[in-house]
Amino acid sequence: MTTSPARVIPFGQDRPETYADAVEAYLRSAGIGASSMRIYRISLRTWAWLACGQQPPLGKDRRGAPAPATRFATLADPATVDLIAAAFVQRAHLVDADTVNRELSIMKAATGWWRNRGWLATNPIAGIERRPAPPDRTKALSREQLAALFDLKAGIREKTLWKMLYETCGRAQEILTLDITDLLLADKRGRVISKGGATDWVHWQSGTAQLLPRLLRGRTHGPLFLTDRKAPARTPTTDVCKTTGRGRLSYRRAAELFEALTRPLAHPGITDVAELELRGGWTLHQLRHSALTHEAEAGTNMPTLLARSRHASVRSLERYARPGVDAVADHVADRDPAARRRR
């Protein structure tokens, strides 16, 4: 009995016709989670606009906007390379440095994969450099601002998320990817996947512990934080609650809600709705920033701060461990030699 020889596809001859198909081929091979894949796909689609010398829509207009149909082979065209470079410079003026740097890093990874497969002979983003990111000026919220935040009229999902982010000093992306089975409720801790893929633990306090049973409502499996609606059919199985049929709450949606709900707190003197929308509210990252700052103000030692933040180095922690103006004033007043002290 003879068998027919397997068909061998010459190196590079399986190159897709469209840029969109090349993106999907790369994503299937990237070995990343569902939430990361969404971010990668959005970032890579950005380059379809840039390859046409255009800019993707900004803000809410970006949602659902179809990227231009682009032939993959055009990425090797010198004229397209020039268009990409010019459009990237323009985009760097429209969005923050972190966004364009993330898009560039993801495109570099995809380009490397395409070139290794023989799909590209040249590098369409050669010469494009990362933009210098401005220093982190995130403001820590005061304890009074946090008290006002936790008094806001908001759903149990939002209240639990906000309290957990503050009490754990956790990154929002980590906390949002928690499953119920990751929680050790009696020990007030949960298992997360940190940057770099390491498994780590976050610890919370009584505030979160009191809210979690109300959030769970008897659920024992699936994502901890859920969307308001049923999950679309395309949603990965691990991101769907089998009990409710709802999907995992995304970072984008959680950030949008937090920003919108905190606008009046961020600008207490402004009551006009249109003016508040222009100015914006707080960010989820400020909860982590605030928690670490308050820990430093309370005298928490550096090894414990590193453990709480799960930073790799003290240098990464420096921007958080800066006591606020009121804390410094209290420190100086407490040590005033002329002050009357209780004996």
Contacts of 4 (CB under 8 A, 6+ apart): none
Tally the residues of the chain: 343
Amino acid letter at 177? T
Kindly report, residue by residue over 257-297, the tens digit of the pLDDT.
999 999 999 989 888 777 777 677 899 999 999 999 898 88
How far, CA to CA in Å, does 203 sit from each of 175, 192, 251? Answer: 11, 11, 20
Q: Which pLDDT belongs to residue 107?
A: 95
Q: Catalogue all structural domains in the chain, each as residue range(s) with its CATH number.
A: 19-116 (no CATH), 143-330 (1.10.443.10)
- From the number of C-beta atoms within 10 Å of its C-beta (0-12, 13-18, 19+), residue 46 rates as buried
Give mean pLDDT in consecutive 10-residue pieces for the chain, a chain of 343 residues: 48 82 92 76 92 87 84 93 94 86 92 94 91 69 94 96 96 94 96 81 95 94 95 92 94 92 90 75 92 86 83 68 64 66 50
Q: Is 85 helix (H, G, I), strand (E, B) or coil?
A: helix
| pLDDT value of position 8 | 43
d(CA 115, CA 122): 8
- Residue by residue, DSSP assigns 191-243 as EEE-GGG-EEEEE--HHHHHHHHHHHTT--SSBSSEEEEEPPTTS-GGGB-TT
Sheet holding 183-184, edge to edge: 183-184, 189-193, 199-203
User: What is d(CA 288, CA 320) in angstroms, rounded to the nearest whole number?
Assistant: 9
CA distance 265 to 258: 11
Start-end of H helices in the chain: 19-29, 34-50, 78-94, 97-116, 143-150, 156-168, 172-176, 206-216, 251-261, 263-266, 273-279, 285-297, 302-309, 314-317, 325-334
Q: Collect all residues with Cβ–Cβ distance below 8 Å to 194 and sequence separation of at least 6.
A: 171, 174, 200, 310
81's tokens: 């390379």
- The residue among 94, 121, 102 whose CA lies nearest residue 41 is 102
Cβ proximity of 203 and 295 under 8 Å: no
Taking the C-alpha atoms of residue 285 and residue 171, their distance in angstroms, rounded to an integer, is 7
- At 331 the pLDDT is 61
| Distance from the Cα of residue 1 to its chain's centroid | 57
pLDDT at 138: 61
Q: What's the confidence (pLDDT) of residue 31?
A: 80
117 φ, ψ (degrees, to nearest 5)? -85, -5
